[in-house]
A and B are shown apart, each in its own frame.
Chain A
């Protein structure tokens, strides 16, 4: 236990010190935090519950639009804001900006949670292929429809309020870094707390055999919906932060970006190892480093690389990094190995 506390303390200190140690990478580190949040919350569905969703992007995009809309709408007419495009006549004062951001993040977290509850009741009864394709459809439909709504900028996009001129040039990066790092810490603590309760066992029971879980008297639907609502809460929060960080929201390229973010979160969780607490964190970190390298050096070919990467990971590496480590060092994961039994297994192979 004390070893774990030490590990967490080191990570926390590293996280708090990171923007000052690597000042040039503040934006990258904030994006990494958001990616870890997304991968960790995807893992609640895909890894623990066995419901492979492409639809968590829905909550991410929803949170992004909601946060920005609230932030603008609290002080200025929203329609005029989006109509004026990039050149703004109204400017947020620092107080207005931070108040709006706070209110926006609250709304961005709560509304997707409610939406997840409603949609979840309707579609979490689907299984297998049907659930995956249905959520894929939801994500794309949300992108297409929000691209047709005038008040949030339709096709031309939505510029989020620019950061007010306080604390010099470095302040913006630090503000968003600590915001996303806070979201990451919050997510990790919440998910870890959830995983240490009976809830995780129920989710795993649903993954392994839903009919049997139901026959044992578990109200599977209730737990599936709660699980999805937890994901939606943090996805919405992450979306709100990301909207402010990017500074520009487009319906299909930034918010409901099924081709990038929607696949990334699945890929990161699988790369790290589905169904583990640390897997998505490791997966997201490795993926982000790889992605940044690739995006920088092979600009233009990144989607080709992404496609190949998906196929390769899915076919040759479906257990992920944590799964590989578990196979290699089972003792570290608390599995007791009977040496004679293992030898017999090897001989059988």
Chain B
């Protein structure tokens, strides 16, 4: 435990900037989760593993000499089909079932993916070097790798594109209609099965983008998926379903929280503090709602 944060104000600035840039990435993953949660009422525990898989795609492009930034384009395309495949094989059988069934089924997928990635890519921590250099601010007191800025920028671009797509396109309208009332949408001629598949695919594609960016800015490892799932879940419950600015804000808030937890408590407690924060948020909401005689459901 050290209190550098209070002695050197520049570290605070550094942590805030790092946290915000990181949080934008989290918000992108959380947006995917909110999408499938809202439309299909499924919580996908394998979300984080889809992110890591997307990261490995970018990493492999880097290994074969292609600049990993192109992963931002390639990885979502591949991940879209992976997502549709998972939907066709597993998710479509659990959509209408008990909620816990879907959690457990995706937990199974998560374990499966973890281990398959471990076989395919090895258990080393890897990163794709983008070679973007770094930016120095305030007399070199604050150091920002350009890759982080790049990834935040790309995430924002993708998020905006997706929002416009959801508003304007035919599929986007069908997805929103299904989210509002699946039965009514079916009656009015929306092929909900196709919509579900597309939603899951879109979610996987978003995970692919985020994964490619994470492999450039941070590191990836086959077993690192679950924290990303928990983070996106947390962001969604803090923001509420369908509240897009809220997702962005709480994503950045979470990023800043993590950076400070990292500085104050030490890196070994970083993941632990994320999971503990989730518990605390849920407990807080439970007591807040119980005053009004309501509960989270």
Contacts and interface: CB of A to CB of B under 8 A. Distances in A.
Interface of A: 52, 122-123, 125-130, 132-134, 136-138, 140-141, 143-145, 147-148, 154-155, 259, 263, 266, 270, 300-301, 303-304, 306-311, 314-315, 318
Interface string B268-297: 110110011011001100110010000111
Contacts of B98: 318
- 10 nearest CB pairs, A to B: A307-B112, A310-B108, A144-B272, A141-B275, A303-B115, A307-B111, A311-B108, A148-B268, A52-B100, A137-B278
Interface residues of B, number: 46
Contact of A127 (B111, B226, B296): B296
B295 A127 contact: yes
Given A125-B290, A148-B268, A310 B107 contact: yes
Nearest to A144: B272
Contacts of B97: 318
23 contacts: A122-B287, A123-B283, A125-B286, A127-B295, A127-B296, A129-B43, A130-B237, A130-B297, A132-B103, A133-B230, A133-B278, A134-B282, A137-B230, A141-B276, A144-B272, A145-B276, A306-B112, A307-B112, A311-B90, A311-B108, A314-B104, A314-B105, A315-B93
B125 interface: no
Interface string B127-143: 00000000000000000
Instruction: Give the interface SS of chain B, mostly helix, strand, loop or mixed.
Output: helix
Given A304-B116, A314-B101, 8 more contacts: A52-B103, A122-B286, A127-B297, A128-B296, A130-B282, A147-B268, A306-B108, A307-B115
B185 interface: no
Contacts of A127: 295-297
A247 B51 CA distance: 36
B276 A315 contact: no
Contacts of A125: 286-287, 290, 295-296
A311 B237 CA distance: 26
Contact of B99 (A129, A134, A144, A306): A129
A71 B107 CA distance: 36
Contact of B269 (A122, A144, A301): A144
A260 to B, nearest CB: 10
Given A126-B296, A148-B268, A315-B93, A140 B230 contact: yes
B94 interface: yes
Interface of B: 43, 45, 90, 93-94, 97-101, 103-105, 107-116, 118-119, 226, 230, 233, 237, 266, 268-269, 271-272, 275-276, 278-279, 282-283, 286-287, 290, 295-297
Contacts of A155: 268
Given A307-B112, A311-B90, A148 B107 contact: no
Nearest to B43: A129
A311 B105 contact: yes
B278 A134 contact: yes
A122 B287 CA distance: 8
Contacts of B237: 130
A144 B295 contact: no
